[in-house]
Chain A
Amino acid sequence: MNLLSLRGVSTFYGAIQALRDVSLEVEEGEIVTLIGANGAGKSTLMMTVCGNPRARSGTIVYDGRDITQVPTHLIMRQRIAQAPEGRRIFGRMTVRENLVMGAEVAGHTDIAPLLDQVCDLFPRLRERLTQRGGTLSGGEQQMLAIGRALMAKPRLLLLDEPSLGLAPLVVRQIFTAIRTLNRETGLTVLLVEQNAHQALRLAHRGYVLVNGTITMAGTGAELLARPEIRAAYLEGGH
């Protein structure tokens, strides 16, 4: 069953149209990746799912319910979590406070085990629980942003460029963690990645976004094999 589906969604910033008639499906238990050049509208799509900015036309259905007009904070309480572009951690709160907020959005009250799981995934965070978020290094902040999203134990995880600024080893750890969570707990993931090669290898399916329009869709392997994809997104790649 589709956990998330967008039908003919258009989003505007003032007079600028950032998404044009976008339709996309994410099935329960799937990892779906969205690739596209800078400014294609990937982050806008992720944020539109969360209702900020709101879709001007089209419908967004999550878990069988139309959430197109639902206020952002109520959408997020339905176990959708996003680690947004630019990390957006709370710099003047402690690492622990940041993480706790991630858990509370989903109504979890037993925080300790969740905190443990996330700290097992990112041991750096455990050492820094009482430190202020703003004093973490860039990579640590990225870990915190992802950790905060995982604290919700989401059904649908929206990850916007999780590998940004992280060392290759840590990136591999994160990708492995995503795959493990997906296999073992059925976590559904919508992933935006600069590193299209790794993303397409991880994902079950992918969509290509060009200037706010979806131009191609297919399984990760299919897209990886397409010459136009290789030319546009994988040149000089690994």
Chain B
Amino acid sequence: MIYGLIAVGYTMVYGIVGMINFAHGDIFMVGSFLSLIALLSLASLGITAVPLALALTLLFAAGLAALYGWTVERVAYRPLRGSFRLAPLISAIGMSIVLQNFVQVGQGARVKPMNALLPGGVELMNDEGFAVQLSWMQIAIVATTLIVLAAFTWLVTKTPLGRSMRACEQDLKMAGLLGIDTDRTISLTFVIGAALAAVAGLLFLLYYGVIDFFIGFLAGVKAFTAAVLGGIGSLPGAVLGGLLIGLIEVFWSAYFSVEYKDVAAFAILILVLIFRPSGIMGRAEVEKV
């Protein structure tokens, strides 16, 4: 589920400017840290009502991460637009390292733990000691993801901004000829992608309770796999890919070994790239590299 939220950001940026934003996973990580900071400061301020604290944290993390996304695009990508194809890619990797080190220096390299906010859960069925439990946390995560994705889908398909985004994605030059401010639209794409990643960061923090400066890499690779699996450039594909990766990991951990669960994502990435590079819902496109 969480991977879906991050994957949407990869797919959106890829669709619109044709590049893999390698710094995206790290925006997710930054979002996670921002959430932690927000939650801790809210707690010290005495705001402990869980829904209120979560809502404020969400706004804070998404807002600031959006600013990060905007800055990354402005500083690292826009000046390179129109130069050779590898340039923004290298710049993206650079940005990713910058963000990691920035957080490492600012927050320390040790993992940051956090107490569970929403303990307890519901028991779905209890069959002689064989219980199926859903924690409140899991429910909250699924609900948040669905709401955010629904809002995002509405934005893309129904609003003028969404139409501008789709126009830029399909033909940047013509979008300009139709009076669309393409630079602004690209900026907004990064901003929205970063905000979604920050939401994912918050959910990750809530679910696992520990974060460090390196989570962006792993989550980034998995989300990227999700995007590729679903068909990069396709928004529903990204969501679907995220779900599939999540499921595959769960089953992998259940039937094989938890230690090797990260291998699963990499293995899938390689298999998909070999056998179906356009993904499940991807369009067969002539590769422009």
Do A88 and B166 touch (CB < 8 A)?
A: no
Interface-side segment among B140-148, B177-185, B193-201? B177-185
Residues of chain A contacted by B180 (CB below 8 angstroms): 73, 105
Also in contact, A92 and B170, with CB within 8 A (given A73-B181, A97-B163, A101-B163): yes
Tell me, in angstroms, the Cα distance from A92 to B171 when the chains sit together.
11
Chain B residue with Cβ nearest A87: B174
**Per-position binary interface string of chain A over residues 66-99, scored 1 when its CB falls under 8 Å from any chain B CB and 0 otherwise:** 0000011110110000101000111111000100
| Contact between A105 and B170, CB atoms less than 8 A apart | no
Compute how far the CA of A90 lies from the CA of B160 in the bound complex, rounded to whole angstroms: 15
Nearest CB in chain B: distance from A99 CB, A:
11
Q: Are B174 and A88 in contact (CB under 8 A)?
A: yes
Q: Are A92 and B166 in contact (CB under 8 A)?
A: yes
Cβ distance B182 to chain A, nearest Cβ, rounded Å: 7
The one of B163, B170, B173, B179 in contact with A52, judged by C-beta atoms closer than 8 angstroms, is B173
Residues of A that sit less than 8 Å from B by CB:
50, 52, 71-74, 76-77, 82, 84, 88-93, 97, 101-102, 104-106, 148
How far does the Cβ of B153 sit from chain A's closest Cβ, in whole Å?
Answer: 15
Instruction: Say yes or no for B167: interface residue by CB 8 A criterion.
Output: yes
Asked if B176 CB lies within 8 Å of chain A CBs, one says yes
Question: Are B170 and A91 in contact, CB atoms less than 8 angstroms apart?
Answer: yes
Contact yes or no, B177 A90, CB < 8 A: no
CA–CA, A148 and B181, complex, Å = 18
Does the CB pair A90–B176 fall under 8 Å?
Answer: no
How near does chain B come to A86, taking the closest CB pair, in angstroms?
9
With a cutoff of 8 Å between Cβ atoms, the chain B residues found around residue A76 in the complex are 176-179
Nearest chain-B residue to A105 (Cβ)? B179
Closest 6 pairs (CB-CB, A-B): A105-B179, A88-B174, A72-B176, A76-B179, A77-B179, A73-B181
Q: Are A84 and B174 in contact (CB under 8 A)?
A: yes
Establish whether residues A90 and B167, one from each chain, have CB atoms under 8 Å apart when the complex forms: yes
| Contact in complex: A50, B160 (CB < 8 Å) | no
Which listed residue (A82, A97, A104) contacts B177, Cβ 8 A? A82
Q: Complex formed: what's the CA distance from A91 to B166 in Å? A: 11
- CB-based A-B contact count at 8 angstroms: 54
In the complex, A51→B203 CA distance in Å? 45
B262 to chain A, nearest CB (A): 35
A105 CA / B167 CA spacing, docked (Å): 13
Q: Which residues of B contact A90 (CB under 8 A)?
A: 166-167, 170-171, 174
Q: What number of B residues sit within 8 Å (CB to CB) of A?
A: 15
9 A–B contacts, CB within 8 A, in A order: A73-B179, A88-B177, A92-B166, A92-B170, A93-B170, A97-B163, A101-B163, A101-B167, A105-B179
| Chain B residue with the shortest CB-CB distance to A134 | B170
Contact surface of B with A, Cβ cutoff 8 Å: 160, 163, 166-167, 170-171, 173-174, 176-182
Separation of A102 and B163 alpha carbons in the complex (Å): 12
- Assembly CA distance A148 to B170 (angstroms): 16
Q: How far is the CB of B78 from chain A (nearest CB, A)?
A: 14
Expressed in whole angstroms, the Cα–Cα distance for A182 and B163 within the complex equals 32
How many angstroms from the CA of A91 to the CA of B169 in the assembled complex?
Answer: 11
CB-CB under 8 A from B167, the residues of chain A are 90, 93, 101
Residues of A within 8 A of B166 (CB): 90, 92-93
Expressed in whole angstroms, the minimum distance between the Cβ of B283 and any Cβ of chain A is: 9
Q: Which residue of A lies closest to B179 (CB)?
A: A105
Question: Are A101's CB and B170's CB within 8 A?
Answer: no
Chain B nearest Cβ from A238, distance in angstroms: 32
Residues of B within 8 A of A74 (CB): 179
Q: How far apart are the CA atoms of A101 and B167 in the complex, in Å?
A: 9
Residue of A nearest to B184 (CB): A73
How many angstroms from the CA of A88 to the CA of B174 in the assembled complex? 6
B residues less than 8 Å from A91 (CB atoms): 170
Q: Which residues of B contact A105 (CB under 8 A)?
A: 178-180
Closest to B164 in A: A101
Could you tell me the distance in whole angstroms from the C-beta of A173 to the nearest C-beta in chain B? 24
Complex-state Cα separation, A72 to B182, whole angstroms: 9
Which of A71, A97, A101, A102: most chain B CB closer than 10 A?
Answer: A101
Nearest A residue to B185 via CB reads A73
> Cα distance A201–B179 when bound, in Å?
32
